[in-house]
Amino acid sequence: MSLPRIAIDAMGGDEGVRVMIEGAALARRRHDQFKFLLVGDEPRIKSALEAHPNLRASSEILHTEGVISGEDKPSQALRRAKGTSMGRAIEAVKAGDAGAAVSAGNTGALMAIAKLSLRTMPGIDRPALAALLPTLEDHDLVMLDLGANAECDARNLVQFAIMGAAYARVATGREQPRVRLLNIGTEETKGTEMLRDAAAMLKASAADLSMSFDGFTEADKLGRGDMDVVVTDGFSGNVALKAVEGTARFVADLLRRGFTSSLRSKIGFLISKPATELLKHHLDPNNHNGAVFLGLNGIVVKSHGGANAAGVANAVAVTARLLEENVTERISADLARMGGTSLRKTRVQEERA
């Protein structure tokens, strides 16, 4: 299958051009149908491409001199977007010169530029940042929003659920994704009025949305594997994600310290190496790299700024899969099935009105 080419912001990330080009080259070796638009400083990109002739043969370079830094505020990034690698990569998606864009740059700037350039889809009030988290089962968990919207209302959460379910069908292959709202308890009476309203709306509309709404979940259940989508506001989602990442690093560091503390520990490490390698694979964020802004008129994927080449390759692979599976069109179809933006009101909401 011939895919639209993917625009790569070659200047984003902690290490910039070298890692972004190595990651794109690795993705190209694994999937030879990929084609790329490499956006950034042309001499530096050409230099990096010398070691990757296969990538060079399937890529075009779009020269830009400007770069969005990690310190740039979204407002500053918007003013400078047209002359930067990040801005031009997103503009290529808008113009139809690329099917999707990947950047490891400033998340706030990427969100602001993408939202202004691509706009939100009809029926979506706000885009959301979604990512895949590892679980104990053989599938990942889709979680959103992870920081794009600090404050949300019940309507936003329902729209996030629709988008997350569409993504989960691609990521897990499950036609009826199991969706839950993140809360401080699983009882129906727990949480804010916003959460209870969103739960009531989803419960009333789940059949129309081709999802299984299973109520609330708590943050300590995220890795169990008994759900496919967890929906929350961007503030809570970002806090939960950072807690998960911090716990993963803590466990890895604790194991490393324990296994090097004595000769007996080192021997124990050799015996348990297969298990520790499996743990390392699950905890390595590069193996789950690639967060997507859902709800825009185009696909934009955020790679972690500190990702290595394998991590960038995974972000590119996520991008290609979203293109292959027409996720944007799937979300539009789900919204249309709901009658656009009209979500069923619950009896409580009608009484309030």
170 and 197 fall within a common domain: yes
Whether 26 and 165 share a structural domain:
no
Q: Of 118, 148, 172, which residue sits at a domain end?
A: 118
Report pLDDT digits (tens) over 127-156: 999 988 888 887 889 999 898 888 899 999
* Mean pLDDT of all residues in 290-313: 90
Number of domain units in the chain: 2
For residue 299, tell me if it sits in a domain: no
Residues 189 and 208 in one domain: yes
Residue 40 has pLDDT above 60, yes or no: yes
196 and 342: one domain? yes
Residue-wise pLDDT tens digits, 65-88: 999 888 888 888 888 889 999 999
- Using an 8 Å Cβ cutoff, are 40 and 85 in contact? yes
At 340, is the secondary structure helix, strand, or coil? coil
| % of the chain exceeding 90 in pLDDT | 42
pLDDT-derived band at 25 (thresholds 50, 70, 90) equals very high
State residue 342's pLDDT score.
46
Better-scored residue on pLDDT, 337 or 142: 142
- The residue among 118, 146, 177 that closes a domain is 118
Q: What pLDDT shows up at residue 120?
A: 92
Residue 204 lies in a domain: yes
Average pLDDT, the chain: 84
Beta bridge partners of 178: 212
Is 304 inside a domain boundary? no
Contact 207, 120 (CB under 8 A): no
Mean pLDDT for 110-137 is: 90
Side chain identity, residue 41: D
Residues 284, 138: Cα–Cα separation, whole Å: 16
Q: What is the pLDDT of residues 256-291, one digit of tens each?
A: 776 676 766 666 555 555 555 555 555 566 677 888
pLDDT of residue 348: 42
| CATH number of 203's domain | 3.40.718.10
Does the residue 27 lie in any domain? yes
Give the predicted TM-score (pTM) of the model: 0.84
What integer pLDDT is reported at residue 15 of this predicted model?
Answer: 80
Least confident of 21-25, 120-124, 169-173, 192-196: 169-173
Scan for tokens 């979300």, then name that residue.
Answer: 331
Task: Give the structural domain span for 62.
Answer: 1-118
Burial of residue 169, with CB atoms counted within 10 A of its CB: 0-12 exposed, 13-18 middle, 19 or more buried: buried
227 and 278 together in one domain: yes
